[in-house]
Structure 1
Amino acid sequence: MTAGRYGDIVLLGLSVAGIIWYAVLWSISLLGCWIARRRYRLRPRSPLATATSAPGVSILRPLKGLDTNLYENLESTFQQEYPNFEIIFSVAEENDQALPIVRDLISKYPNVKATVVIGEEIVGVNPKVNNLIRSYRLAANDILWVLDSNVMAHPGTLARSVDALEGPPPPGSSPTLRRVAVVHHVPFAFANESRIGSRIEEAFLNTNHAKMYIAINTVAVDSCVVGKSNLYRRSDLERVNGSLKPVCPGRTNLSSPNHRGLPAFGRFLAEDNMIASALWHELGLRHDLSCDIARNAVGNMSLGDYVWRRVRWIRVRRHMVLTATLLEPFTEAVMLSVIASLSLRYLFAVPPWITLILHYPLWLSVDLDVYASLAGHPLPAAGRWEFLLAWAAREVLALPIYILAMFGDEVIWRGNRYQMLRNGEVRRAVPRPSSWFRRFVLLWKQTEYYEPMNEMPID
């Protein structure tokens, strides 16, 4: 076979594969759009909202400083239409700026059982987990709702979420359907600031991220959970340790009690995703999305803040789900348009400009439809052009940010520097020596520049 003939076969194969991949991604996008229409455009009131009794729920809200929209975010917890819940606020330090707001709300809602826990317990390098440990142990109920401080919830969210967690399986489902272990909510951002990073983050979370998140959880081939707002049972969490090794029904993973439950996840940066993965893989349980959203207040975010936030989570995902992360750039609008235009030109002699003219308006229309489903209304006319420019900037920046993220293992989160390890574990990084000569010598001696985390061996 001549080199030219071999090259033609390779190009033909790549073009066919490109068209198939393009069709698959369009199918996923349309699935996310369709499910968003079905699930989020109608949010029925749960019977638990007016019931006299219901399963008890402990709402855990970790706090640190004055997050954007903090008063309204926390107040939404007090306003839940549910007959049986408590709220436990966690702060690491007694001079935390969030405390006056919490105490004001507790005074404003005297009929709601709410307490404040001050002081963290160090079980790993994840500050959120350290902040939550004492509240986790003091919680009076088995069902826990862990809710980030920058999230505002609709009054009916808790009742509908408990319905999803405790209710019967859907009509017509298989009798072998696994029970639900985690109920989570799609983040939906709202930006009160006009800074470019805030607007790009808002456009990203409310369109492409939401679309893919909904579709992946509908297909449900593996765990995919963002931890802005999660419900799960402490009794389930106490049986897992983050090893992702299946355990026998009715048993726990073979590790000491101190190395199971929430403390076992202090060694991960994305503890929310790892908890969900552990419940999925270790106990064989499933997840469910309720018909509510987690309204995420986006703060004053610069373009650099946005870039490094995306870099952080790509690096985290790379150490948790490598294959999916490697495929990620080929799921983005810009790369897909290039793949489709080249494939169609080779196979059918379609001019690339025709493909591009059709691709972007259709892709955008699906994203805007997802936005309308989650928001409950179309994109407001007042901020339309600003949003569309932010959407375009997000798509253009996706590949450069991805390339930047793939070179490096360090991330910065809440002012702390970490090194990513296998399976999403992290350890704290300390400043490197200032002398280039000392750096070379220490590197040659294979000296670590990282503080070891609290060791939590997993059997």
Structure 2
Amino acid sequence: MTFWDDYRDTILLALSVAGLVWYLAMWSIGLLGCWAARRRYRLRPRSPLANATSAPGVSVLRPLKGLDTNLYENLESTFTQEYPNYEIIFSVADEGDQALPIVIDLVSKYPQVNATVIVGEEVVGVNPKVNNLVRAYRQAANDILWVLDSNVMIHPGTMARGVDVLTCPPPPNSSSSHRRVGLVHHVPFAFANETKIGSRIEEAFLNTNHAKMYIAINTVAIESCVVGKSNLYRRSDIDRVTGSLETISSDTSGSSQSAECGLPAFGRFLAEDNMIASALWHELGLRHELSCDVVRNVVGNMSLSDYIRRRVRWIRVRKHMVLVATLLEPFTEAVVLSIMASTSLRHLFGVPLWISLLLHFPLWLSVDLDVYASLAGHPLPAALRWEFIAAWAAREFLALPIYMLAIFGSEVVWRGNRYQVLRNGEVRRATSGRFGSWLRQYTRSKSMKDYEPLETQPSSD
């Protein structure tokens, strides 16, 4: 045996050991997410604040644009919260928005709830959601803000349990005992009321792999990881952060900082929710907590191409925010891991490939289905089993091709507009030629295809 043969065998041995160690590490993270989901979501106790005579005031901010799927029920769930002291502020960018009549109807239906509507955005950056939120953010009467996307529905006890977590002091003997909670967030639990393949794949992804990894990362809590479907935080904290992610000393007030502070400072980011969470974590040293509630995310009419575009968009954004984690992402997916494990086991122990593959996928699926059961409160219904598993398999096998499509670009399309993703997740409007103009028109027409024009528009005050 020559030197090069020895060298090759050594390299193969090292790669096989590293591959098996990585595989076991990914299994540990997956099992952690499964265990944490069982521990957190299978019991949801009623909060004492639900029946309290007094409680901290909460301002619920719901930015709206167009007719999201299940919009009436989503918004109505805000009016039925079991909490004694809250207001709701809806915001739309223009008076012709088709969500406006639904809001007006709900405000009339629940006159006992303090609800207002703000029409007209304030442009502070390229992010349309932030532009839509700024006026509501400034008008809110309470320090505790709950920003809720329009495509999620919430349980009546969600607000009370969320405020419990936000205002609860850190547990004793905790490694984070010196850090108070700065943000409470919720795992989205998706359900598709459409039979389109993209809707089913998105539902399977959010309720299994995404939820498992999201819960595991937040259980370890070594870095900020937040989805912005439902976030509670204090305006007094947001008013101090800038998005620079540089530590702010406790004696520095927002007014004395040279950079812009508060919500308007995040108008330059596409993923403003993640950046706000990171700013609270890094700039103020505050921690995040998951509540024991989920928010029900209604997946609308999503084709396969819609699903692919959505995944491409957020991979490209993450690449400019957390590069190392994004580069490692393919090696956390079931298909790539199965290849790593099977080749490592064959080289180290002579295990046939088919045995490794035959064991890997059923076990991986069983963990994912257990996470689903924890979030849903019940096992996967038998009537949906094979359709859901097919969508789960499609998601797993599409993950690597979608990643390869996404990783080599920096332009994304969101709500009919093209953006160039810059360093740290900042964006700017992308300039393009005739093809780009056609693509924007095509995307905008697809986003509006399910909307019916209103015969009459409400007048603005």
TM bucket normalised to smaller: over 0.9
User: RMSD in angstroms over aligned alpha carbons?
Assistant: 1.4
CA contact (8 A) 1:247 1:253 kept: no
Cα deviation per residue 1:143-169 (whole Å; 9 max; x = unaligned)?
A: 000000000000000000000000122
Query: Quick one: which amino acid aligns to residue 168 of structure 1?
Result: P
Counterpart-to-counterpart distance in 1, 2:285 and 2:255:
16
Counterpart-to-counterpart distance in 2, 1:80 and 1:330:
41
* Partner residue in 2 for 1:406: 407
Cα deviation per residue 1:317-337 (whole Å; 9 max; x = unaligned)?
A: 000000000000000000000
Counterpart-to-counterpart distance in 2, 1:49 and 1:257:
42
Structure 1: give runs of 5+ residues left out of the alignment: 436-459
- What is the DSSP-based 3-state SS (H/G/I as helix, E as strand, rest coil) of the residue aligned with 2:419? strand
Q: How does the TM-score come out when normalised to structure 1?
A: 0.93
For the pair 1:300 / 2:269, whether they are aligned, the reply is no
Cα deviation per residue 1:6-43 (whole Å; 9 max; x = unaligned)?
A: 11111110000001100100000000000000000000
For the pair 1:357 / 2:347, whether they are aligned, the reply is no
For the pair 1:50 / 2:62, whether they are aligned, the reply is no
Counterpart-to-counterpart distance in 2, 1:19 and 1:244:
36
Counterpart-to-counterpart distance in 1, 2:34 and 2:254:
38
Counterpart-to-counterpart distance in 1, 2:118 and 2:368:
41
Counterpart-to-counterpart distance in 1, 2:51 and 2:362:
45
CA contact (8 A) 2:161 2:291 kept: yes
Residue 258 to residue 81, structure 1, CA distance change in 2 (3 Å): farther
* Partner residue in 2 for 1:431: 432
* Partner residue in 1 for 2:236: 235
* Partner residue in 2 for 1:443: none
For the pair 1:123 / 2:130, whether they are aligned, the reply is no
Query: Percent of aligned positions with the same letter in both sequences?
Result: 77
CA contact (8 A) 2:74 2:153 kept: yes
Query: Quick one: which amino acid aligns to residue 301 of structure 1?
Result: M
- What is the DSSP-based 3-state SS (H/G/I as helix, E as strand, rest coil) of the residue aligned with 1:80? coil
Structure 2: give runs of 5+ residues left out of the alignment: 437-461
* Partner residue in 1 for 2:444: none
CA contact (8 A) 2:211 2:371 kept: yes
Counterpart-to-counterpart distance in 1, 2:61 and 2:232:
10
- What is the DSSP-based 3-state SS (H/G/I as helix, E as strand, rest coil) of the residue aligned with 2:89? strand
Q: Number of aligned residue pairs: give it.
A: 435
Residue 11 to residue 254, structure 1, CA distance change in 2 (3 Å): farther
CA deviation after TM superposition for structure 1 residue 259, in Å: 1.3
CA contact (8 A) 2:239 2:254 kept: no
CA contact (8 A) 1:61 1:87 kept: yes
Counterpart-to-counterpart distance in 2, 1:174 and 1:411:
39
Residue 334 to residue 255, structure 1, CA distance change in 2 (3 Å): farther
* Partner residue in 1 for 2:457: none
CA contact (8 A) 2:170 2:177 kept: no
CA deviation after TM superposition for structure 1 residue 170, in Å: 2.8
* Partner residue in 2 for 1:374: 375
Query: Quick one: which amino acid aligns to residue 346 of structure 1?
Result: H
For the pair 1:345 / 2:346, whether they are aligned, the reply is yes
* Partner residue in 2 for 1:94: 95
Residue 8 to residue 280, structure 1, CA distance change in 2 (3 Å): same
CA contact (8 A) 1:319 1:422 kept: yes
Query: Quick one: which amino acid aligns to residue 124 of structure 1?
Result: G
Residue 273 to residue 171, structure 1, CA distance change in 2 (3 Å): same
Q: How is 1:144-223 mapped onto 2 (pairs within 5 angstroms)?
A: 144-174=145-175, 176-223=177-224
Q: How does the TM-score come out when normalised to structure 2?
A: 0.93
CA contact (8 A) 2:242 2:259 kept: no
Counterpart-to-counterpart distance in 1, 2:113 and 2:213:
37
